[in-house]
Chain A
């Protein structure tokens, strides 16, 4: 198992190098001149030139690239031009906010989608099957920013059940001391129940938005894969051996059906990382998605590069986790690893 993990990490290195090169080139290819942007509209040509020189943007591309990679090797992602803060620090502060939101959304979605898919598959044609179909169709056809806005409108503006969509905590509470960066966990560690409640109520709407978005593919895949497995020969053998329906469905059908579902999960998770950008905007969530968008608008290279690189590392880690899960479930994969 350990050798497999090591091997997979080794395979990830070339793709990470590729990501570094591509993001560097892409940010340079983007329209907009950061020097002009920071000099402001009233700046003279000389002032812009001066800023360009200061930022090192007058150097040839290749030299800029080597300086960039050299800094990266020292853990320096550069400084954001807008905030003046080191990118590494900002990402470190903002990543937990995004991760907490995404993970909660995914957990909620899995908790609903998988039972829904399994029940729909075991009772084809029943009301739950129809419910599954309706939910999945609705889920794929609603864009996240729209669901988010509708939820805010209904639960905050109309019903007043939810707090204002303004970040991770109500202004009356101070952030808990950072341990994991996840407010739900940190507030509990600090035994601050009130703050925990506040953090949770802030999380519910954006997490639900993400959950609705990711529900559809997971439920659909679970249903399809369960149906296929339930029709397979070894399930017939299990039935012909008189095993209880619970054993047949859980031990025989479900575990086999999980393999394609896990693949879908990894894809959904990557979609969620992308969808995050919009959800964070709608809910004023201080995550890395909104950070990257703001940086992109102001042609601020360093945060964008930092963001893409962070995402790439997360994809690699995610795929590793998926591979390990596969190995746990399917002995045939274990052999190859």
Chain B
């Protein structure tokens, strides 16, 4: 790690004002990404991974705000920056790839035009001869065959994997320093998933870009990232090198998360009761802890209903 990280998130707390009061989606999170580093943020849904990344780009919903802490991106204080400064950063210095690529693209605009919109916003006319040509180039870089024709395609005319390539082209069009990939492979079939991940890694490595990969898939994080941050209920519970965390997970939640990951040779039924076993998890409400729901699930007296719920959520996810 270099002395000056590209992205430095310190003590970040994000709050959402809802009808039922203030919800702290992310609490006291510390994350740093060095230049050229690939970081994974792993956690189940609702753990605050996406909210953290939205806070970094300051694209939280109207109801959400950075309540505490600081986000420094290559010397710029994201919390204090003006909206104009932020707009200049987004797409040019920090880009984002979203899950569900088809929904992430404007359904009634040609994909080429959408890439061109980004180029037009960030690249001056003087620097490039033709934004259209540059957009075609961007499509070519994400290995879309016949980019000149595909420029005129609408998202509904492309497959899911193809749409995700377009989204990647869109995100990388201006050569940003940091790419945030928010569950980039969710909703794609397995073979496409690998192709998309390989493409992201290849392109970001070639440009010496930093990447944050947000995922619930530990396998994905292990295969592609240098470091892993594990989040649970809005807090970071463990940060470690990817190799270390899988060889020797420290936090009980990480261990459970690893055991909840489906692997070859392990049926889903076997995954279920293995989940539990550890009692105290940071941020766990002790009140829920004692209300047993279905103790017949396991003979192990230490099993907590939280564990059962946790598994169910994981199931919904995969």
Interface residues of A (CB under 8 A from B): 124, 232-234, 236-244, 247, 251-252, 255-256, 329-332
7 A-B interface contacts by CB (under 8 A):
A240-B98, A241-B117, A241-B171, A243-B87, A243-B121, A251-B117, A255-B108
Task: Find A256's partner among B90, B107, B121, B170 (CB 8 Å cutoff).
Answer: B107
A243 to B88, CA, bound (A): 9
Q: Is B43 an interface residue (CB 8 A)?
A: no
Contact of B98 among A233, A244, A330, A331 (CB under 8 A): A233
Q: Which residues of B contact A247 (CB under 8 A)?
A: 117, 121
Most buried by B among A234, A236, A251, A330: A234
A277 to B: closest C-beta gap in Å: 38
A242-B118, A242-B122, A251-B117 are contacts. A329–B90 as well, Cβ < 8 Å?
A: no
Chain B residues, CB < 8 A from A330:
107-108
Q: Interface code B156-185, partner A: CB below 8 Å = 1, 0 otherwise? A: 100000000001001100000000000000
A241, B98: Cβ atoms under 8 Å? no
B275 to chain A, nearest CB (A): 31
Collect the chain B residues with CB atoms within 8 Å of residue A124's CB: 62
Looking at the assembled complex, report how far the CB atom of A330 sits from the nearest CB atom of chain B, in whole angstroms. Answer: 5
Contact B90 A241 (CB under 8 A): yes
Please measure, in the bound complex, the distance between the C-alpha atom of A233 and the C-alpha atom of B156, giving whole angstroms.
15
Taking A242-B121, A332-B154 as given, write out 10 further A-B residue pairs in contact, using a Cβ cutoff of 8 Å, ordered by the A residue number.
A233-B104, A236-B59, A236-B104, A237-B98, A237-B105, A239-B90, A241-B121, A242-B92, A242-B118, A243-B91
CB-CB contacts of B80-115 with A at 8 A, as 1s and 0s?
A: 000000111111100110101001111111000000
Contacts of B154 in A (CB 8 A): 331-332
The minimal Cβ–Cβ distance linking A131 to chain B, given in whole angstroms, is 20
Number of A-B contacts (CB under 8 A): 79
Q: Does the CB pair A240–B96 fall under 8 Å?
A: yes
| A232 to B, closest residue via Cβ | B103
Minimal beta-carbon separation of A68 from chain B (angstroms): 46
Complex CA–CA separation, A99 to B109 (angstroms): 35
Check if A234 sits within 8 Å of B121, measured CB to CB: no
How far apart are the CA atoms of A241 and B171 in the complex, in Å?
A: 7
Cβ of B142 within 8 Å of any chain A Cβ, yes or no, is no
Report the minimal beta-carbon distance from B50 to chain A, rounded to whole angstroms. 11
**Contact present for B108 and A332 (CB under 8 Å):** yes
A240 and B57 contact, CB distance less than 8 A: yes
Q: Are B90 and A242 in contact (CB under 8 A)?
A: yes
Question: Which 9 pairs between the two chains have the least Cβ-Cβ distance?
Answer: A242-B90, A242-B91, A241-B91, A233-B103, A240-B96, A241-B118, A234-B106, A237-B104, A242-B87
Q: How far is the CB of A123 from chain B (nearest CB, A)?
A: 10
Residues of A within 8 A of B117 (CB): 238, 241, 243, 247, 251
- Which residue of chain A is the closest to B57 with respect to CB atoms? A240
